[in-house]
């Protein structure tokens, strides 16, 4: 329970990776503030499970982020995790979708950090963990906004890390490859139908084509790394972009 007395705000924590991180931080004693969309009864169940509060802030809206941060109060651990994807060629990419992805996957982290870092610096302790992606290091076609935002958050992570390095605060990114979340799992039946493939072919030849281990990262694996980054032993891990992609970006 080494995080007892710390408060963690995890964006996009009603599902997938963010939820796993929220659970893992709670298991180490942190007080958790959830954020993200979902059915009211499911969010209520998560609040009960984690003894957490919840903000429904739409993080594409800077004013909503300011309200969320004001309501959260002292934030010792900030996990910028909320994200979305859209797949289309550059010349067909809807400009509004570009703006939305940059706002959520990149600018939201700037806004939460600019509001959370002064308190962390003043208290002499803080952890910022940004869920980036293998796409912060390499590109795939048709994912221009996502790749641009994820490369951007890798740079934002480094710049902020340098600014707070002498104040007991670290800023790091975690870059997963394909993670087994409901989002990914739900794509499989449609992909089987669209491509005329078996479930195994979709998993191995489509989803895991770039992942040398041919296995999915589990949300709990990412969460375990996030917990490690909060430990005192990780105090000199700063400005890092830690891959957890089965070797994808080693090629």
Residues in contact with ligand NAD by the rule CB under 6 A: 12-18, 35-38, 58-60, 81-84, 104, 131, 133, 176, 178-179, 181-184
CA dihedral 243, 244, 250, 251 (to 10 degrees): -130
* Distance (Å, whole) CA 212 – CA 214: 5
CB of 57 to ligand NAD, least distance (A): 6
**Cβ 50 to ligand NAD, closest distance in Å?**
14
Which residue, 165 or 204, is less far from ligand NAD as judged by CB? 204
We find the least distance from the C-beta atom of residue 5 to ligand NAD, in angstroms, to be 26
Helices (H), the chain: 16-27, 40-50, 62-72, 95-102, 108-123, 144-164, 182-185, 187-195, 199-201, 219-230
**Is the Cβ of residue 146 or residue 170 nearer to ligand NAD in the bound state?**
146
Residues acting as catalytic residues: 146
CB of 197 to ligand NAD, least distance (A): 19
Among 221, 149, 240, 115, residue whose Cα is nearest residue 178: 221
**How far apart, in Å, do the first and last CA atoms of the chain sit?**
38
Q: With respect to ligand NAD, which residue has the nearer C-beta, 237 or 244?
A: 244
CA–CA separation, 223 and 83 (whole Å): 16
Q: Is 88 helix (H, G, I), strand (E, B) or coil?
A: strand
Nearer CB in complex with ligand NAD: 121/210: 210
């Amino acid at each position: 329970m080494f995080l007892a007395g710390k408060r963690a705000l995890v964006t996009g924590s009603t599902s997938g990776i963010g939820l796993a991180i929220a659970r893992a931080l709670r298991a180490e004693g942190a007080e958790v503030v959830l954020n993200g969309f979902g059915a009211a009864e499911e969010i209520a169940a998560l609040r009960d499970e984690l003894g957490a509060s919840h903000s429904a802030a739409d993080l594409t809206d800077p004013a909503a982020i300011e309200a969320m941060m004001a309501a959260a109060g002292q934030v010792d651990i900030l996990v910028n995790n909320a994200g979305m994807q859209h797949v289309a060629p550059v010349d067909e990419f809807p400009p509004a979708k570009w703006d939305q992805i940059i706002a959520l996957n990149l600018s939201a982290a700037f806004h939460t950090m600019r509001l959370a870092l002064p308190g962390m610096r003043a208290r002499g302790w803080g952890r910022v963990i940004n869920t980036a992606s293998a796409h912060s290091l390499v590109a795939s076609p048709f994912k221009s906004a996502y790749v641009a935002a994820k490369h951007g958050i890798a740079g934002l992570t480094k710049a902020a890390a340098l600014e707070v390095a002498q104040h007991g605060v670290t800023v790091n990114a975690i870059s997963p490859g394909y993670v087994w979340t409901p989002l990914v799992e739900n794509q499989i039946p449609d992909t089987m139908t669209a491509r005329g493939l078996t479930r195994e072919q979709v998993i191995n030849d489509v989803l895991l084509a770039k992942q040398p281990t041919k296995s999915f990262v589990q949300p709990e694996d990412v969460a375990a790394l996030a917990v490690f980054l909060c430990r005192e032993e990780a105090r000199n891990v700063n400005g890092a972009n830690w891959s957890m992609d089965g070797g994808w970006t080693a090629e």
